[in-house]
Amino acid sequence: MSDTQEPSLDEQIAAYQREFRDLDPQVEKVVSALGRLNRRMNVAYGRQVAELGISNAEWEVLKHLVLSGAPYRLGPGELAKRLGLTPAAMTHRIDRMATDGLVTRDRDENNRVRVIVELTDEGRTKWLEAMRMATAFEEDLLQDLSSEERGALGEMLIRLLRRVEHAQPDAGGRLKDLD
């Protein structure tokens, strides 16, 4: 008995409205759906890459190295910035990935303060396999949307993205107007 289960999106929004009068249901619907969708997608990605013996965290690193283009090298600091981690966390993550053979870590001979993290062949292969699984999943995910809908969706998301990105500098309050 008493098996309370997670409320559906609509139930959730209705509950919020009971507790918080001036809530715009339309806005809340978009935001809540975004959040839930992302959580579920991350779970799905995590399960998939786990089959390759890597974690989502490691896959993120592989992605950024590949994105940097051949010869697939980046410094720990740059990686940390892109992944939103502290440099300390990056150090440890690279440690693990290096012992797992996904990347190498070497001092830059031209500037011995710097470190170069480079993708190994094994790392690149893992990335490719992960990418194949991910794209299959993503195709599946979007299969109900027509090409026009996909375009419209992508375009709207990018507009939202622009809003948040331009808002970052100000640590405090509301988003500033863009031009």
Partner DNA sequence: CCTGAAGACTTCAATACTAAAGTTCGATGC
Partner DNA sequence: GCATCGAACTTTAGTATTGAAGTCTTCAGG
Q: With binding defined as CB under 8 A, does residue 122 bind a second copy?
A: no
What tokens appear for 37 in the block?
A: 């969708």
Q: With binding defined as CB under 8 A, does residue 88 bind a second copy?
A: no
Q: With binding defined as CB under 8 A, does residue 66 bind a second copy?
A: yes
C-alpha to C-alpha distance for 23 and 30, rounded to whole angstroms: 13
Q: How many CB atoms lie within 10 A of CB 169?
A: 7
Task: Please report, as residue ranges, which positions from 2 to 41 form the binding site for a second copy (by CB under 8 A).
Answer: 4, 6-7, 9, 12, 15-16, 18-20, 22-24, 26-31, 33-41
Is the CA virtual torsion 150, 161, 58, 74 positive or negative?
Answer: positive
Residues 6 or more apart whose CB falls under 8 angstroms from that of 48 comprise 130, 133, 134, 137
What tokens appear for 101 in the block?
A: 């053979």
Q: Which does 112 bind (CB under 5 to 8 A by kind): a second copy, DNA, none?
A: DNA
Minimum gap (Å) between residue 4 Cβ and a second copy: 5
| Selected range binding DNA among 8-16, 33-41, 85-93, 122-130, rule: CB under 7 A | 85-93
Q: With binding defined as CB under 8 A, does residue 115 bind a second copy?
A: no
Q: Which one of residues 29, 114, 124, 166 is an interface residue with DNA (CB under 7 A)?
A: 114
| Selected range binding a second copy among 86-94, 95-103, 167-175, rule: CB under 8 A | 167-175
Q: With binding defined as CB under 8 A, does residue 171 bind a second copy?
A: yes
C-alpha to C-alpha distance for 91 and 111, rounded to whole angstroms: 18
